Chain A
Amino acid sequence: MSDTVATAHPVHEQHAEQGFWRTYVFSTDHKMIGRQFLFLGLFMLVIGGLLAMMVRWQLAWPETPVPGLGAIPEPYTYGGIIPPQTYNALFTMHATIMIFFVVMPIMVGAFGNFLIPLMIGTRDMAFPRLNMLSFWVGALSGAVMLASFFVPGGPAAGGWTAYATLSAKESYTGVGWGQDLWIISLIISGASSLMGAVNYITTIVNMRAPGMSYFRMPLTIWSLFITAVLLLLALPVLTAALAMLLFDRTMGTSFFLPENGGEPLLWQHMFWFFGHPEVYILVLPAMGVTSDLLSTFSRKPVFGYRAMAFSMIAIAFLSWLVWGHHMFVSGMNPLLGTAFMMTTMVIAVPSAIKTFNWLGTLWGGSIRFAGPMLFALGFVSNFVIGGLSGIFMASTPVDIFIHDTYYIVAHFHYVVAGIIFALFAAVYYWFPKMFGRMMHEGLAKIHFVFTYIFFNLTFFPMHFLGVAGHMRRIYNPLQYEFLKPMQDWNVFITVSAFLLALGQIPFVVNFVWSLAAGKKAERNPWCANTLEWTAPSPPPHGNFEVQPVVYRGPYEYSSPDAAEDWLPQNRPLAGAAARAH
């Protein structure tokens, strides 16, 4: 194993003390890069959340001034009233930012970077400088995306799916520069993710500690590994599509414009061929983290570890065969609809396996309700709703009615916004390792209760709106006679969304306060088995004092071989127990 480390890591990075810039800004330390991604993602979360609040205000009280928005000049607002064009930009940017600049940077960028070397027991990523470049290219793409708010015509307003032909011509949306910057930003962001993916795959394949076989890897690492493979294969497709769109917009090509022989549905096929695996890129790390946390806080091995790993592989494989379920009413051949329905129904099975195995992990446990555990349980409970509501649109005839309604918005917020629970679980759980201090448990619990209640009060009623036929992306529901009786729900959802946002204050307070003055963390505050907890908190550049050697899988909780209810992966057993293993 050490030979492999040497070849994959030819120029050994400095692990000695370094100056301010090399430590905090242009760091090649995977842990600092992880923290940088975390801060980037949390910053963008605030922006993405504020955009959502404005969208919700407009839907509850259409065409009334948003408090505090009056300062923004015409034509972006009229004395605080959001015009339709701005409204379209708001939800477009909300979705783009949340997906590409919050969930991906935090779940994949922050925790992927921070955890992979620590959990597999190595000193750093395979390519530390590429890793640094990945962060700074990602930050650049975020800056380009934010810059689009300040160009003439405003930011992109064609939806995060940017369906051609709407997105392909300035005359259709009135957005020029903003849409171009959106495309350029996502191409740059794709480059950043590719660098990360190459790094993750190389590191996991080549640099695992002695004894760390694939089936001794924590499920978090499995999920990040599979996610990296999906990233590697999906992002080039998006990048190709984006390049074609940019050519259509700026160079007079006609990939998606029918007047010169282009095909608008080609965009949708390419977009969703990327876009559906993308959903799993977002949700797989959340599943991995949840599996680890349920095991740790139930003091019990993961139920069916191999089935959990294989079902993630199955999800990843099948994710390439289901993109057409976004296109049942798009005008593609209805025969394809039948085929995509079958594959979509099949992909529900591995998700069901994961859910039941999580229940099996809780069964017979000794469950501790610490902050991270509460959020992990919250993820499971919301994922169940999001998974089950997906079956409705998998059925082609039912999808005819609920397609493009708020039902879809409800469904994907339960899945994708539900990831925020796994995200918070991960922050609370690994904060001690990342920053060397504990977060406040009481504030974490308050944060959980508010988030869980108002998350559900915000997103569950969206199902009702969708079933009533409420279209998504409409500016003013009161323009429709058949929606007027449902307007009270829009007000209810908006009030809940505001309370959900306010419910994040305990987190912000906790995060900032704990960074500065939290209780000093021990090496292993949760009594967990995985290797990152054998390193100091926070680990120094280079991670481990001695190279860890792995003797067993990560989930040996409450094993009869050990006196305590945990058994770290690197602890050798003496006597009979050792021979039995």
Chain B
Amino acid sequence: MLRWLPEDVSTYGGEIDALFYLIYYITAATFLLVTVLMVVFLIAYRARDGRRATYSHGNTTLEIIWTIVPAAILVVLSFMSVSTWAKVKRETPPTDFEVGVNAKQFNWEISYPGPDGRLGTADDVKFDNDMHVPVNRIVRLHITSSDVIHSFFMPNLRFKQDAVPGRTVIGWFEATKPGRYELPCAELCGFGHSGMKGWLYVDSAEDYAKWAAEHLSPKPQ
């Protein structure tokens, strides 16, 4: 049993992992079947004196079976994938917690709404490479890039989304466990691609409130 996926701390990661393991078992079983058959055939039908190969051009029934069975399995896998995909990428649940991610060579620029409470205005509060979110809260991300294509990857949250210059892509996640998680860039973005990483801090509600009070509130003049 393969257990090397990074720890999942998201609400939807379990569904993704379950699909992963389902495909893993199906493909492993198919691999074993094919390999065992092949090895058995290679041994049983090795050339020996006085035995001639079977003269056969095929068997239509068999061929129909091994067309329909894989097709059926693949159709079922497709339909199982559709709902998870829709949940992760197509529908963002309602939330008032919005964070901007602007990728650039070679930093993640993370922005939070300023005093006007809206993202994308001049008073946004910006950080390089550090993202703080409260645990158990739906976070809506506005992902874009100011130069080349990057990919915002949160391995522990089973989240990946390319950051494309010229467009803003919406993504979402909800972290379930406080901690500090790495934020690598998954798309080649130039000589500094490796090492373009930040940290995601999933804070408890109190820790987040404390951090927000310290960093997001307007500074006393």
Contact = CB atoms under 8 A, between A and B. Distances in A.
Interface stretch (B117-125, B134-142, B147-155): B147-155
B182 A342 contact: no
A471 B184 contact: yes
Nearest to B20: A398
A303 B182 CA distance: 51
A522 interface: no
A195 B146 CA distance: 41
B182 A474 contact: no
Interface stretch (B82-90, B94-102, B207-215): B82-90
Given A85-B191, A468-B5, A398 B148 contact: no
B74 to A, nearest CB: 4
Given A163-B188, A349-B71, A307 B77 contact: no
B16 A398 contact: yes
Given A172-B147, A401-B20, A557 B53 contact: yes
A132 B147 CA distance: 44
B2 interface: yes
A349 B85 contact: no
Interface string B62-77: 1100110011001101
Contacts of B38: 359, 362, 377, 380-381
A61 B153 CA distance: 25
Contacts of A368: 47
Nearest to A368: B47
A172 B147 CA distance: 8
For A300, A348, A395, the residue with the greatest tally of chain B CB atoms inside 10 Å of its CB is A395
A334 interface: yes
A345 B155 contact: no
A572 interface: no
Nearest to B24: A392
Given A353-B63, A480-B182, A345 B77 contact: yes
Given A163-B187, A341-B85, A353-B67, A479 B34 contact: no
A492 B146 CA distance: 38
Contacts of A300: 53-56
Nearest to A85: B191
Nearest to B81: A395
Given A331-B167, A362-B45, A365-B45, A342 B30 contact: no
B153 A558 contact: no
B35 A84 contact: no
Contacts, number: 279
B148 A166 contact: yes
A389 B2 CA distance: 14
Contacts of B82: 338, 341, 396
A482 B24 CA distance: 23
A359 B46 contact: no
B71 A391 contact: no
B93 interface: no
B44 to A, nearest CB: 9
Given A264-B164, A400-B88, A558-B53, A304 B63 contact: yes
B161 A329 contact: yes
B195 A475 contact: yes
A123 to B, nearest CB: 31
Contacts of B169: 331
Given A396-B81, A475-B194, A480-B184, A559 B55 contact: yes
B189 A464 contact: no
A366 interface: yes
B186 interface: yes
A529 interface: no
For B42, B149, B192, the residue with the greatest tally of chain A CB atoms inside 10 Å of its CB is B149
Interface string A46-90: 000000000000000000000000000000000000011100100
Contacts of A335: 90
A364 B54 contact: yes
A247 interface: no
B85 to A, nearest CB: 4
Given A88-B193, A348-B70, A557-B53, A367 B42 contact: yes
Nearest to B43: A367
B160 interface: yes
A301 B55 contact: yes
A560 B191 contact: no
Given A299-B53, A395-B23, A398-B20, A404 B160 contact: yes
Contacts of B78: 341-342, 345, 395
Given A396-B81, A404-B187, A482-B6, A366 B48 contact: yes
Contacts of A518: none
Contacts of A396: 81-82, 84-85, 89
Contacts of B53: 298-300, 364-366, 557-558, 565
Interface in A144-171: 157-159, 163-166
Interface string A537-563: 000000000000000000101111000
Contact of A172 (B4, B153, B162, B190): B190
A479 B155 CA distance: 15
Given A377-B42, A482-B6, A474 B193 contact: yes
B217 interface: no
B130 interface: no
A356 B66 contact: yes
A360 B88 contact: no
A409 B193 CA distance: 17
A395 B54 CA distance: 40
A264 B30 CA distance: 39
A405 interface: yes
Contact of A473 (B166, B167, B188): B188
B74 A479 contact: no
Given A338-B85, A341-B78, A397-B16, A303 B57 contact: yes
B220 interface: no
Contact of B153 (A348, A392, A398, A471): A471
Interface in B163-182: 163-167, 169, 182
Contact of A301 (B47, B56, B194): B56
A499 to B, nearest CB: 23
Contact of B46 (A88, A369, A391, A565): A369
In the complex, the 9 A-B pairs of residues with the closest C-beta atoms, listed nearest first: A258-B166, A364-B54, A475-B194, A469-B155, A304-B58, A474-B194, A388-B27, A334-B89, A345-B74
7 contacts: A166-B190, A264-B165, A304-B59, A356-B34, A401-B155, A474-B184, A479-B195
Interface of B: 2, 4-6, 15-16, 19-20, 23-24, 26-27, 30-31, 34-35, 37-38, 41-42, 45-48, 51-59, 62-63, 66-67, 70-71, 74-75, 77-78, 81-82, 84-86, 88-90, 105, 147-149, 151, 153, 155-156, 158-167, 169, 182, 184-195, 197
Given A366-B51, A475-B194, 7 more contacts: A299-B52, A334-B89, A353-B66, A394-B74, A395-B77, A558-B52, A565-B53
Interface of A: 83-85, 88, 157-159, 163-166, 172-174, 258-259, 262-265, 298-305, 307, 329-331, 334-335, 337-338, 341-342, 345-346, 348-349, 352-353, 355-357, 359-360, 362-369, 377, 380-381, 384-385, 388-389, 391-392, 394-398, 400-401, 403-405, 464, 467-469, 471, 473-476, 479-482, 555, 557-560, 565
